Amino acid sequence: MKLEEKILSVAKDTISIEAKAIANLENLIDKDFSDAVECIYNSKGRVIITGIGKSAIIANKIVATLNSTGTPSVFMHAADAIHGDLGTILKDDVVICISKSGNTPEIKVLVPLIKNFHNKLIAITGNKDSFLGLQSDFVLNAYVEMEACPNNLAPTTSTTAQLVLGDALAVCLLNLRGFSSKDFAKYHPGGALGKKLYLRVSDITAQNQLPQVSPITNVRDVIIEISEKMLGVVAVIEKEKVIGIVTDGDIRRMLRNNDAFIHLTAADIMSKNPKTVPQDMMAVEALAILEKNKISQLIAVEDGKYAGIVHIHNLIREGII
């Protein structure tokens, strides 16, 4: 077998093994899962998630997912917990402990200490009959038949199962809380994803200059206004209303069709009834209009009056595209 064929075969086997294990989790979801979700939902405290080794890495990811979807969560490393970090746990907190075997030495030391605090304990484990499973209030069964590792040793399938159960917890809680896109944007303000949910046309127009001319402005001054404002467009304004638009394309067409153009005005070359959008429109909606009409700029209005220009380059710069 060629090296390429061997690599692809191993990769496909790995995916197949993990996919089958994840599909089987549907059969392992029971009342303990729903009770655990209700316990977290009704709790007045946070979710403390702990584990060791690869399970600790999965715990960190679940913490991040819960925090970003409205469930305050904190990671506590199982080894550090028994050396002082138990102070992380407050009275009303719910603790989730992740361990494939449920019988590691650190877990056996940690679990009785958590129980002494009388906090509710949720286990995510592949062994319901383990020390962790038997000591927990709720057990989320993360059993897998085998690891994808050919030696059945390296945590692969098992950590994927833990991760999926964590996602299932987060999505259930998200639904119970009625967590909306606006809530999501509040927790994700810095990235492109957040901007798609909160950035408005007014945020874009505030970055740009305000190119405008009157209908009787001569072509020379129209070209100067377009060049100086560097948006490739100028709005034609009459009595504070937008009556037309002149773009770079309009200028090129004028030059192609006219040997003499010094006598022309903005009204002679403008495109009438340009597409406009309200200032409070979401930027991502403005992008859809630009793409649908295959144009580069939109005119923004507020209370029917000219408010600014939205250029597709603005949206690229903001990461909306």
Residue ranges for the known binding site are 77
The correct CATH number of 198-317 out of 1.10.10.10, 3.40.50.2000, 3.10.580.10, 3.30.310.50 is 3.10.580.10
Output the CA–CA distances (angstroms, integers) from residue 159 to 21, 59, 148, 165, in the order listed. Answer: 11, 10, 11, 10
- pLDDT band for position 185 (cuts 50, 70, 90): low
Q: What pLDDT, on the 0 to 100 scale, is given for residue 314?
A: 85
Closest CA to 177 of 275, 41, 36: 41
pLDDT tens by residue, 127-180: 999 999 999 999 999 999 999 988 888 999 999 999 999 999 999 999 999 877
- Measured in residues, the chain has a length of 321
Average pLDDT, the chain: 90
- At the topology level of CATH, where does 3-179 sit? Rossmann fold (3.40.50)
In contact, 181 and 197? CB cutoff 8 Å: yes
In contact, 243 and 236? CB cutoff 8 Å: yes
- pLDDT band for position 259 (cuts 50, 70, 90): confident
Q: What is the mean pLDDT of residues 102-129?
A: 95
Residue 240 burial (CB count, 10 A)? 9
Q: Where in the chain is the domain with CATH 3.40.50.10490?
A: 3-179
Region label for 239, one of left (φ > 0), alpha (ψ between -120 and 50) or beta (otherwise): left
Q: What pLDDT, on the 0 to 100 scale, is given for residue 195?
A: 67
Q: What pLDDT, on the 0 to 100 scale, is given for residue 191?
A: 58
pLDDT surpassing 90 at residue 256: no
Q: What is the mean pLDDT of residues 206-219?
A: 91
Q: Where in the chain is the domain with CATH 3.10.580.10?
A: 198-317
Task: Name the β-bridge partners of 265.
Answer: 218
Q: What pLDDT, on the 0 to 100 scale, is given for residue 131?
A: 97
Helices and strands counted in the chain (H then E)? 15, 12
Residue ranges for the known binding site for Zn(2+) are 77
